[in-house]
């Protein structure tokens, strides 16, 4: 799975600093897998602190 960062904060109205835009126009199974991977990454990051 790949992540593609498109544009910058200037794509959004107001301040988007600190936020990530996700495209969820894909099958639910892929969205679920991606969300679980993000959750696991956050948990590993928190445990490493």
Instruction: Report DSSP letters for 10-22, one per residue.
Output: GGSSS--TT----
Q: What is the pLDDT of residue 32?
A: 92
The residue ranking higher by pLDDT, 25 or 2, is 25
Q: What is the pLDDT of residue 45?
A: 93
Round to whole Å and give the CA distance between 7 and 48. Answer: 30
Q: What is the pLDDT of residue 9?
A: 54
Prediction pTM value: 0.59
Mean pLDDT of 14-40: 83
- Contacts with 23 (C-beta within 8 Å, 6 or more apart), sequence order: none
């Amino acid at each position: 799975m790949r992540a593609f960062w498109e544009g910058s904060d200037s794509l959004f109205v107001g301040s988007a600093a600190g936020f990530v835009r996700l495209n969820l126009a894909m099958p639910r199974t892929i969205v679920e897998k991606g969300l679980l991977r993000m959750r696991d990454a956050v948990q590993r990051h928190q445990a490493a602190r």
